Structure 1
Amino acid sequence: MPTKTKTALFLIAACALSTRASAHIDHDFGAAVHGHAGALLSGALHPLTGMDHLAAMVAVGLWSALAARRAGPGLLWGPLGFAGMLLVGALLGLQGVHIPAVEPMIAASLLVTGLLVVTRWQVTGIAAAVIVGAFALFHGLAHGHELAGAPSTWATLSGMLAATLLLHLAGLGAGWALRSANVWLPRAAGAAVAAFGVTLLAQLA
């Protein structure tokens, strides 16, 4: 198996393992560390405690790398658009703002981003940011509602954004390594994310 393919599979596996491990971490684990450090840690762990959030963030990175025409800053439009709107949604959630259909939209984001990975649909950078950013708003709202009342809000949000960007970078690295691999590998990864989205939508129906 080519080295790049092994690297990509390792990155994807590492993300999956981190989700399984974090499932056993108490959401208040950050409280064991006092002050801003504890809040930063709690925020960083938060995106890792839900497979739906983690899969969407990694898929955005995968799509950005697979659909890119060339290496360069254009790779970052999707991840930055997602992270920016995630922050907006989290701030709204912290303020108690409620928008209907948050959970269905999160599930739909998995279906859409999975299909984007499968098709490697190429769009402009701004369009990529808008597409994933629209879904990121709902991910952010969910996080904001769950983090409401947490101490050191800005430290918590900073940790959450840092973890989000790291997940995007993991997806970018895996996607870039898979660009020249067998076509079925990235398509299989995208199909798995899309199927997960369909499963969640069926459960919510």
Structure 2
Amino acid sequence: MKSAIKSGLLALAAAALPAVASAHPAIGEAAGFSHGFGHPMSGLDHALAMVMVGVFACQLGGRATWLVPTTFVLVMALGGALGVAGVAVPFVEIGIALSVVVLGAVVAFNIKTPLPAALGVIGVFAIFHGHAHGAEMPENAAGAAYAAGFMIATALLHIAGLALGYVIGRDGERQGVFVTRTAGSIATLSGVGLLAGLI
């Protein structure tokens, strides 16, 4: 059980760490990609939400395992396009923080929502995350590389969440429930801290 807890918490912590390599991006296309790749990972809010999306997808199982993360990435791209176009989306930062709270709680309590409802909730949160990424997208040719960067980073964080969900499920009902509740609770409390301006 101790190894299961360590594995789960280490995976969550590793996925939430800032991308150190993105602190000093290069110029041109490299800057666009590295900046875009680092953006989802350099903020605790984005990283935790993306990992929770993966765990949530794993908990739902079946088609949700790939539909939930894929929907998030595609709708996030739409939100990014809105950000680039300068289309205002109200309460973006609040929406991002709420996504951490809600997704953490859904994971902690292993809430089995119908797939259409899950995709709807994921889609709403993806708009907020995408808009935040798109608002920082370079207007030059590096913009496409930036978009590719944040979409790939998001997908990798989803994969980390799926892996965490797999580890949790493999460790049996008793240990799995404990690790799930711990990971979800950490995310939820972090989201509350973000909403309150404490993080």
The two structures have a TM-score, normalised by structure 2, of: 0.87
Output one character per residue of 1:31-72: Cα deviation in whole Å (capped at 9) or x when no partner: 2xx43x44223221221111100110001111111232xxx4
1:21-170 equivalences under 5 Å are: 21-22=19-20, 25-26=23-24, 29-31=25-27, 34-35=28-29, 37-68=30-61, 72-149=62-139, 151-170=141-160
Shift of residue 132, structure 1, vs aligned partner: 1.1
Q: Distance in 1 between matches of 2:191 and 2:103?
A: 9
Shift of residue 2, structure 1, vs aligned partner: 7.0
The 10-residue stretch of structure 1 (106-115 or 146-155) with the greater mean CA deviation from structure 2: 146-155
Output one character per residue of 1:10-37: Cα deviation in whole Å (capped at 9) or x when no partner: 3223213x32x539813xx042xx43x4
Where has structure 1 moved over 2 Å in runs of 4 or more? 1-11, 21-24, 37-42, 123-127, 148-152
- Structure 1 portions without partners, runs of 5+: none
Match among 179, 183, 199 for residue 193 of structure 2: 199
The question of whether the paired residues in 2 share the 8 Å contact of 1:83 and 1:165 is answered with yes
1:7-22 equivalences under 5 Å are: 7-16=7-16, 18-19=17-18, 21-22=19-20
- Structure 2 portions without partners, runs of 5+: none
Give the direction of change, closer, same or farther, for the CA distance of 1:30–1:45 in structure 2 (3 Å limit): farther
Q: Distance in 1 between matches of 2:131 and 2:94?
A: 13
Q: Distance in 1 between matches of 2:135 and 2:81?
A: 9
Output one character per residue of 1:146-170: Cα deviation in whole Å (capped at 9) or x when no partner: 2243542222111111110000000
Q: Distance in 1 between matches of 2:11 and 2:80?
A: 27
Give the direction of change, closer, same or farther, for the CA distance of 1:132–1:94 in structure 2 (3 Å limit): same
Matched residue SS, 2:87: coil
Shift of residue 7, structure 1, vs aligned partner: 4.1
Instruction: Give the aligned CA root-mean-square deviation in angstroms.
Output: 2.2
The two structures have a TM-score, normalised by structure 1, of: 0.84
